[in-house]
Structure 1
Amino acid sequence: MIEALALPKAELRLKRKKNVVYVWCILRKKELVCTPEEWVRQHVIHYLINEANISIGRIASEYPLEYNGLKKRADVVVFDSESKPFLIVECKATSVPVSTKTLDQIAQYNSQLQVPWLWLTNGLRHVHCRIDSVEASLVFGEGIPVLHH
C-alpha cells in the first residue's frame, strides 16, 4: 500500500491503529484509512499545495456532484481565483491502469463542472488533458500538468 510514486515526496502523517494505517488529510482535517487510492490522492494534494503553490482553500477533496441523478465525488477539484472549478484530478491506486475508463469517469464529472484541465493519475502514470473550447478538442500530455492558475 505505502509505495514510492512518480510524484514529489510528501510529508504525510501516518498512524497505525489495530493493524490499519491511517493518513491525516490536510484538507478534510481528519484521519482517513490509507487505502492505495488515498495514498495517491494525498500525494496529489500535497503536490498541488507544495509544488504548484495552490492555496489549501482552493482545493477540495471528494468534491460532491451529481451525474444522471446519481451522487458522485470527484477525487480532487481545484478552483481558480474567482472560485470557479479549474482542474479535476481522478486518482486511482497504482494497481489500476490509467485508461479510457478513467477518462470516461472524469469526463462525466466534467460535464457538471466544465473545467479547462483534467488530470488522471495512478501515482505512477500521469495523463493530463487541456480542454480547448475554441477548437472543441482535447489536448493530451503525459506527466504531471504544469498549471497556470
Structure 2
Amino acid sequence: MLITYPPPAFRIKTENDKEFIWDAIRKRWILLTPEEWVRQNFVQYLIQVRKYPASLMAIEKEIRLGELKKRFDIVVFKNMRPWLIVECKEPHVAINTAVLEQVARYNMKLSGSYLVITNGRETIGWCIDKGFFHRLDALPEW
C-alpha cells in the first residue's frame, strides 16, 4: 500500500549529543531513533492524511501476553475498542512473516479489526474478518 507522508513539522531538540522528538500524543520528548522516526511519521499520516482522531490513539503502551510484557507501537480506538493496530520497524528492517506474527500476537490480546506493519518505506495491512486475514489496498476510512 502506498503511503505519502505529510511534510514533517516536528519539534526536535538535541541534549547531550542525542536528538529528541516531541510526541504530541504522549505529550513528552522521546529519543529519536530510526523506529521512532517511522512511528512519528506514520502517526502524522494517520492524523493529517487519513483524518484519524489523535485523541483516540495510544502509542507505546504495555500489554501482557501470558507472562510476557510487550509494548505495541500504535493503536487507534473506535467505539472504545482497539480498531487498528500498527507495528513500526526501522527502515532497514524487512516487513516479513515474523513481523506479521508479532502484531498478530498483540492482536490476540487487543482484538482489533485491522493490522498494519510498516518500516516507513513499505506498509502492508490486513482486515481481520471471522478469523481470516484479508490484505488491504489502503487503510480503512475513519
Say whether residues 1:65 and 2:63 are aligned partners.
yes
Higher RCO (CA-CA < 8 Å; seq separation 6+)? 2
Say whether residues 1:147 and 2:132 are aligned partners.
no
Q: 1:115 matched to which residue of 2?
A: 112
Contact 2:5 2:44 in 1 (8 A): no
Say whether residues 1:137 and 2:139 are aligned partners.
no
Structure 1 residue ranges without an equivalent (≥5) = none
Contact 2:115 2:127 in 1 (8 A): yes
Any runs of at least 4 consecutive aligned residues in structure 1 with deviations exceeding 3 A, and if so which? Answer: none
User: Deviation at 1:68?
Assistant: 1.8
User: Deviation at 1:6?
Assistant: 5.4
User: Deviation at 1:137?
Assistant: 1.4
User: Deviation at 1:8?
Assistant: 2.9
The one-character-per-residue Cα deviations of 1:64-86 (angstroms, maximum 9, x if unpaired) are 21112211111000001x21110
User: Deviation at 1:18?
Assistant: 2.3
Distance 1:6 1:19, change over 3 A: farther
- CA distance in 2 between counterparts of 1:98 and 1:36 reads 15
SS in 2 for 1:104: helix
Please point out which of 36, 39, 52 is paired with 2:37.
Answer: 39
Distance 1:47 1:58, change over 3 A: same
Say whether residues 1:100 and 2:93 are aligned partners.
no
